[in-house]
Structure 1
Amino acid sequence: FHLAERSLHRYAEYKKERKLIDYTDMEVLFLKLLENEEARNEISSRYKMVFVDEFQDSNPIQIDIFCKLSDLVKQSYWVGDPKQAIYDFRGTDPRLIEAVIRKLSSENTENLTIGKPLADSWRSRPQIVDFTNEVFTKALAEQVDAKSVALNPVRTENELPGSEWHKPVQCWNFVSDKKLTKEQVSHHLAKGITDFLNRNDVYVLDKRKSKLDKSTQNQVIKTRPLNPEDVAVLWRTNPKVRSFSDSLKKFGFQVAAEQDNLTETAEFKLFLALVNYYLDKNDTLAKATVKFLTENEISVTKLLDDRLNFLYGDNAPVEPLTKEIENREEWNVYYQNLNAWGSGNPLLKKMNILKENAGHLSVSNLVDKIITTTGISDFASLWNNPLQRKNNLETIKQLAKEYEDRCLILDLASSLRGFMEFISKTRNQDLKQGAAAGTEAVNVLTYHRSKGLEWPVVILNELDYDHLSDQKLINNEFFGGNLFSGIETDLENLFWGRTIHLLPWPFGATNKKVPEDLTNRILKNSRYEAQMENTKRELKRLLYVGMTRARDMLVLINYTSNPLKWVKDTLDAEEINMNQNNNMFGTRHEIAEKHLDFGNDVSYPELEMKAVELLQKNGPMEQNNPLFRSPSHEPPIENQVVSVVEDFQFRIQRKSGNNTDDNVLGDCLHDLFYHFSEENREEFLEKGKQIISGYGLAGDLTHVEHIYQSAKNLFGFLTCQYGPPAKIWKELPMQMVKDDAVYNGTADLIWEAENTLILVDYKSYSGKKEHILNPEHDKFSGKYSGQLATYAQMLEQCHPTGKKVSESLIYYAIMGMLVSVNK
């Protein structure tokens, strides 16, 4: 305890030196602030009401804050559901909440009243509501009033088909003549869910299309086929979530589950390699990693052969015969040739250009640029679990912002190298992968994380787990450091009876069992008895939370060789086993049984897409309704009018005979126009040469002054036609959510006039002018109409003053033609 005291004192000094506060400080300092007369007067004069949501999750210090705030205002509303108090491990005290509710419910309480319970269930089918009512009015009778448990179903009974797979409450029995291993449990359930999702005759309520007919006051019911996103699988612990997620992935499903090991994913390794190359362009391992993960038909063997051939083949760099000190220029050429391996990779080329132009960027902006400009997400979409991989890239961006905030608070300089050091020192379990999202991802999470959420189908696991085993409870709740709140409460002294107990494990690291004589003494200890009772009460509430997440189907998982310990403890019943009792809960409501027999099989299908972490290449995966979309992929809009706005009669001269890639040419022109400045002609010409050289186009775009003139023509026309700009936006990144999809894109040029917005998109096509005006030609400007329309919507949504786009233009920079694409 002396060590703990010194540690807390040192921790307090550390925070004070760096001007930091943690979550506990926020509570303690705010409570202290409420003792200040000036602060109390300020709150009382400015605020009239206090609202508290999720009151059942409050700890004693929060309740003290709420009480003191309530004394300062005219009205105070506290909303909560004691049946869902499941966060004892975070310091909440359900018995204290119950005591508050009892006080509010007493008849003689002055100025205090308890409101009318929310008695209607709009979420679940009537059979599910009635089932949970019957189970938990008994199970929670000691904790809450029966009227607060039983809900009235609002939905009607016959909304879904009447087949066995649509029964509101189901029990899937996994047949086995002996106890299944952990591997078999994960495999069998994943196989059962796979078969369930592969059926084409299972439907769920379509919440979006179902609505109330105001003319008849009848509910219009619409259904749709079951999708993976409609299923949630609940487990007790995060390790079980991770283990089962791996099993589902082996059956080819994407999984919406937060997982550890972000740094072990292929997308992070690709990002890390690009960062290392950015920091040192001679980093051979970084270049090899980028080549392996992004180039087609390249294996580790081919990669090594390519490297060895470069170093020792016929065209290998030859080391100079003279000493470096005698002929430094010759040695510089040698080193340049030696480090040329891999530099032709498209991503590395983009990194070279980025490094030349990104010196002014912050760490978070630079990380964002590395991810977006190199197109890492495009490669991630070709690997398995593309949604989760894209979310992982977003997580990396968020980590960069957190790193910058940390540096700002601690008054430290931020750098890209510092960011990578920050990640390397962060615990692996704290570097969570982003959960996949979209219709193709099954939800896998803990009972605790499911609170406040809902799904059409909810699958409850570990009903056979023995939470109240004496040995487990002694090991987890008696030894180590634990907060003990006891059974009695005192509303005049909210912290009464709350103590910290520390009892180190004295039996050695390999011994997991307490000796029998000591176990018998602990079982008679009043603290143990109170802890047993508190744990039992929370287990009932936790199962209630799990059962009330389901909208259409509630699925209970049972392994027929295992007694249902959790159900037994919830019902305070004798031993329960589905072999002995067809209704495990003993209710009058039907539980539809499904018997699934997979024997001892733990095999998984051979999927075409291998895990990229195992150094296997993956082909593209088709997405019917991708979550992330690009405006450039939007189909053209019919009946487009394409008209020439201005023909500048000026063409950028290119050197003939070059087979320049159109995408490389386009990227180069975009960069050149981004850096255009009419006032700094000489500076632009110098910078333009560097950009052109960086793209390897010095033999093609030989007249950088032509590019300057082309940009000047455009900007001059826009000024004459629409007036001097209030603001010019170049390469503006935008995002928009529409039709369940997230659109991400970058607008080339936004000319913001006084009352309108002009959208300009650059194209590098250098062919004949009549091609871009001919609807029958594949270079017809109208084919970009969907892209421009989407950009216009994105721009109008994100613009701070709500200005509208009045013109969408395409500028063919090389041919000097400006055209309008409008409806």
Structure 2
Amino acid sequence: MFDFGNANPSQKEAITACNGPVLIIAGPGTGKTYTLVQRTVYLIQECGVLPEQIFIATFTEKAAKEIITRITNELISRDIFVNVNEMYIGTFHSLCLRIIKENIEFTRLKRNYRLLDDFDQKYLVFQNIYKFKNIENIESIFPQSSSWKLAEEICLYVNNLSEELVSITDLYSDSNADIIALADVMSLYSELIREENLIDFSTIQTECFRLISENPDVLTALQDKFRYLMIDEYQDTNYIQEQIVFLLAGKRKNICVVGDDDQGLYRFRGATIRNILEFPSKFSSGECRIIPLTINYRSNKDIVDFYNKWMSTTDGSKFKFSWDKFRYSKKIEPYMQTTLSSSAVVKLSSNDDTDEWHEKIFNFITDLKSTGKINNYNQIAFLFNSVKHQRVTALANYLESKGINVYSPRSDMFFSREEIKLTLGILMLMFPSYVSGIEKGEYKFLKPEHYYYFRDCIVTANEFVTKDENKELKRFIRARGKAHYILSGTTDYAYCGLLYQLFQYDPFVSILNTEMSSGVIDIRPARNLALLTQIIGKYEYLHRINVLSAKSINKNTERLFNLYLRLLIDGGIAEYEDESEYAPSGCVSFLTIHQAKGMEFPIVFVDSLSNVPRKSYKDFMSNIEEKYFHRPAFEPYEQIKYFDFWRLYYTAFSRAQDLLILTCDENSKTPSKYFAEVYDEIPSIESPCFSLNEFEFHNVKSTNLKDTFSFTSHITVYETCSLQYKFYKELEFLPVRQSAMIFGTLVHETIEDIHRCAIRGEESKITPENISDWFENNYVSLIKSEHTYLDKPQKEAALNQVLRYAERQHSKWDSIKQAEVDVSLVQPDYIIKGKIDLIKGNNDTVELVDFKSEKKPDMELMRSRIEHYRRQLHIYAYLVEKRTGLKVSKMHLYYTGEEDGNPMISFPYTKSAVEGTVSAFDKTVHKILNKEFNQCAESIKTCKNCDFRFYCQNY
């Protein structure tokens, strides 16, 4: 019998409802993730479903990691050992990208495509804005916009129409000149990303849709593979996601969607509540099982009653709307009745001014801590409509000034952090010509607030370096500044390289010395410096800057600060968020309501009570929707703002476990009329009917997320230098001294083309002419992505290595089983991952081949290097045997650069040797998990080529 644990009857029904369409309506705190996990285990244990036949789409990568971790732990507890990592679990975007990668030859994309994030996409349009401005009638769609605002608006429309699968051809057929102009915008954008081999977040999904809808063989293979689909947070899916789900499900229709229509928050990203509300109607009458989960295990009864009432209170004294058919009627029931006489829903407000409000909040938090009611500040969360508002940052600054740390990574405070202002100021001081322009106000693109910020950075830097203890840093800055001012040739570094040179001086040494086991606030400066290297490194990449030269130093410096950083400052940058600890120890959390979705906290303050429902759609977009979207409008436009407003605060209120506090101050003119009635009815924290003494507050639940480790990307780096691992892997500093790997990548990719051709049964196409074509296509995509080239002799040598490999096979390709194979295995507390170049063999025995694009080394002189490769092959062999059950008989290193002799070094499979390597791998992983990063590299060569060689002088 299947062990359902503590599942209630509704959860049991959801767990066992395996075949056909299923809609699980899961209210807040009703055990949604638990049910999904148990349902997956039930499919594997009771129904004999293979992990690779299960497809689970989640809303965030963190949710995907949590599900993988919980499924793994549950299976292990039941003594069931399957490779859960074979399941397709991830966000829609990551899953679509995986499908694209596995079938890239059927898409417009070539290898080495670049994925644009939100800022990258806007910056791409901005860099080509003159092309868009030349489109006839564009000013009537986007009137009076600055170039950057125009880029933002263009991306908004492009993304929305792309995900609604609106046809550019259809837009061109319209008689409206504005719609034709929009078609020109769409067409130009499509041309840009196609030419540059780019993909953005919206086109990930459109490319995947086109791939599976236009290639029947690919779709059939995927439908055969994915027998069961589960879609989490279905209320926040959009049109194209729905289309992909139904295509993949095919005739089986084994689609289980889970969500809560009351928590649909992402309309601004194209999500539509209709997907979950109309899901049952996609099937024959009675075919779809609808299972409501309504028992709340999270919150105190008062809190549940409060947000139930909120959803039903739509007929206030000054407003009125009706849910009608746009909500599933439901009432959430608390699992336990409250034993408190004190109310668990209260308000905290000030009658005087903001200072009094700050003080009341501080005193309340202090009372919680001093009386032992909470043992950690992370038991408290504040939820806002936006954490960027001056009123919110003022409260955060007040609490921090009183010794209460605030975790608010999305408050866009990155550029106001002292370490960032100091670093940017020092960087500017090393370019005297630029500083002179700032002082004289010569830069027309800068607004007064930009001048103020950059001057403040310079003042901060000057004040720091003039202190006696910083005279060495001052000397370094002056020397660099003089060198840059009189530069006549080139340097051997660019801006990012300068940052790494600064790391030999304080305060940078002290920041980098911070132990990784420190709290999130202590480690934040190091993480922010790492993020700054990523930002400046991206600038250098986009503008192809490798060194500073006399010819372009002033232009590039001005563009770095006055354009690139200015745009980032205006747009704001989120700081580091730790997926494994959403409520860092020792900190009060300041979160947006959207950010808090899926989270829970013992004590929740909900602010932003001055908010009112606002229109969220554009009239022009509504016109496009009416004409060209594939479905008519769903919710009445005039009521959308009310629906979204109520859902937003329902989500906020339902985050609280033990105590919900609505808070506002008189200066913020709160609460608005929409909250007034519910606000007036709840008691104040100062009223006699509220007593903290009655409460026992939960601790924040732990999140046990499994990290992934590979031999090449993790173990090799750690064993080479654990400090490098700390900086590059843990803190995510951007390496800038990487030698170009284009030669080896080019050889590997073209050999992969040969293998893919053979696997498809098209051996006759493996000809020198075709190989040369594949090689050239790979080269073109590589130079676009890497911004570097091979000289003619190198390029010819690379092609010759590939041709020689193909010739040596004598057209015997039948033993190839798989090429470029991603293999992974879930361990009790981490996941091993690897990528095998080639698996070949016959029957149940296989051999592994790893290609090296170099000459075969001397076996004696390079013994340690070859031993390192042998250990890598051991890990691959272990993964293959555990994953497939196939016996590995041999492992090979194939040196494509070997011209005359035997190009291979072969190793026999020895079980004891493999087990020894796996044991060593495990020990190293646990050193990493324990944050043991104190061992420097032993090789001088390693140190010479390391960005942190300046820092390590003082380590």
Question: Please, what TM-score do these two structures have when normalized by structure 1?
Answer: 0.49
Structure number with higher helix proportion? 2
Question: Please, what TM-score do these two structures have when normalized by structure 2?
Answer: 0.43
